[in-house]
Amino acid sequence: MKRQWILAGYAGDGALPSVTDEDARKLTHLNVAFGHVRDDEIRIDHLQNVSRLPELKIANPDLLILLSVGGWGAGGFSEAAATAAGRSSMARSAVRVLRSLPLDGIDLDWEYPCYAEAGIAASPADKENFTLLLREMREALDREGAASGRHYLLTIAAGADRYYIDGTEMDKVHPYLDFIQLMTYDMRGGFQTLTGHHTNLYTPTGDLFRISVDASVRLFREAGVPPEKIVIGAAFYSRMWQGVPDRNAGLHQMTASSGGYGPDYTRLHADYIGRGSFVRYWDDEAKAPYLFDGNSFITYDDEESLGHKCEYIRAEGLAGIMFWEYSCDKTHRLLDALHGGLNRPNPAQS
């Protein structure tokens, strides 16, 4: 029997009207970003385009749609998770959301338990409280599903590096989750002045920062997460440094400022790749492309790097791949590459 790999896409509420029926048929999961946590409840009253969801279900009846709750700088989690009453309130609100929209589950994107860098409340107690919150939500979703004869999904988006492992109890958490989506992007950029890849499959020689997709997967497996519950991440946007020394094609160079967000793939394809003074380079160790024009360094995913990520998923027996974010690629080339890479025939099984 052919295995179905997860191909999940995040789409902001504003992007929902632009999700085509054709693309909906290529996805297995759609994560709608974002619900908010306020006063110990999941809130969706700010979402404006959820009327598109039933249409996407018609286009692909097998598409599983989840509400993603949180995101960078979105608080309310630590406070809700801190008490039994708060956890119960949040779980009940999740059920109400599932009843009000054509959804198949909830995806929690708490960035991050035990850490306040995003300007949200945090506490050392988050580590255990996160587990308790997920248990409460899993039980509530299971009760609701039993009443209607269905299974509701519960997933999380997880930080890619050691800090996330240290701030959570992944060995206790994963039994409550259908799968875990590793945010294996932004692995370099906003906090570093050293140029490098932000969504690389492997760590190349000479890189002081050792994180990569492969390193992240190994961290989560060592923490007790089975490979068949791990979904890796892909980026439909870039990270960019400027004022980069013209050495080694800009790779692994110290700069005066950290790497901010660069062009999304739509703009990269139209104005940067093979355009002007930018030259595309390929790091065969990292399995990652980058652009350099003598001053600006841009790191991103493309069809070639996504092909390697798909091969990695198949070789390691992982659950699949997700990407951030749908509206960043109006060429549709990246989603096509993921769909083709995951669904090509496996010679070993032929």
Q: What residues are annotated to the active site?
A: 111
Q: How far apart are the first and last CA of the chain?
A: 12
Contacts of 51 (CB under 8 A, 6+ apart): none
> Rounded to an integer, what is the distance from CA 253 to the centroid of its chain?
27
On whether the CB atoms of residues 225 and 217 are closer than 8 A, the answer is no
User: Which helix or strand (DSSP H or E) is residue 17 part of?
Assistant: none
* Closest C-alpha among 118, 111, 224, 120 to residue 175: 224
Q: What is the spatial distance between Cα 136 and Cα 129, in angstroms, rounded to a whole number? A: 10
* DSSP summary character for residue 229: G
Residue 38 bridge partners (DSSP) = 41
On whether the CB atoms of residues 9 and 29 are closer than 8 A, the answer is yes
Residue 311 bridge partners (DSSP) = none
Query: Peptide bond before 144: cis, by omega within 30 degrees of 0?
Result: no
